[in-house]
Amino acid sequence: MGVQEGLKIRRMKVGDYEVVSKIEKEIFSCPWSERDIKRILTSDRFAFPLVAEVSGEIVGYIFAWVIYDEVHIGNFAVREDFRRKKVGTKLLDYLICEASRRGGKFFYLEVRKSNEPAINLYKKFGFTPIGVRKKYYSDNEEDAIVMGKSLDGVLHQDI
């Protein structure tokens, strides 16, 4: 059975925070703390975090916030050993579908200027660069490209 057949996307639960935090620390140079992840899962009413599981094991996740018609995508990660197996594609597709069912029309995110694989994935989903946040990342002061996608073809420019 391949990854696709065993892949399940579901809403992140409070009990997932330790595994998600472990992946976060492995992937990001400035990871979110366990405390922050737990707070998002327990008290952020706009949060819409998802995990990807293969055979019951969390292999990726995406944090997003659905605030009325806007969706902000935060940290999005897939374990190194599950990359290039469509896990990220499935997570992002599921998020867009479910967030739009909840009223989301405008999707925004920041991505490191040097993260070409992520930028290419977002472009495949119709995201376009709409701005730059100078020195956004605190570890190396790298710029972030702000990307957006609108389900109705019009993006807000006042982000």
Residue 79 within a domain = yes
Q: Chunked in runs of 10, what are the mean pLDDT values of the chain (159 residues)? A: 75 94 91 91 94 95 95 95 92 95 94 94 95 90 94 60
| CATH number (domain holding residue 82) | 3.40.630.30
Residue 159 covered by a domain: no
Query: Does residue 122 sit within a domain?
Result: yes
Does 58 fall in a domain? yes
Give the pLDDT score at 124: 95
106-112 and 70-78: which strand pairing? parallel
Q: Is 137 a catalytic residue?
A: no
The one catalytic residue in 18, 70, 122, 137 is 122
pLDDT in the model for residue 2: 53
Structure confidence at residue 117 (pLDDT): 92
Give residue 140's pLDDT.
Answer: 86
pLDDT value at position 30?
85
136 classed as catalytic: no
What pLDDT, on a 0 to 100 scale, did the predictor assign at position 62?
97
Q: How many domains does the chain have?
A: 1
Contacts of 78 (CB under 8 A, 6+ apart): 52, 59, 60, 87, 88, 91
Of 24, 53, 70, 110, the active-site residue reads 110
pLDDT at 116: 94
In a domain, 128, yes or no: yes
Query: Residue 31: inside a domain, yes or no?
Result: yes
| CA 2 from centroid of its chain's CA atoms | 23
For residue 158, is it within any domain?
no
What is the domain extent for residue 139?
3-150
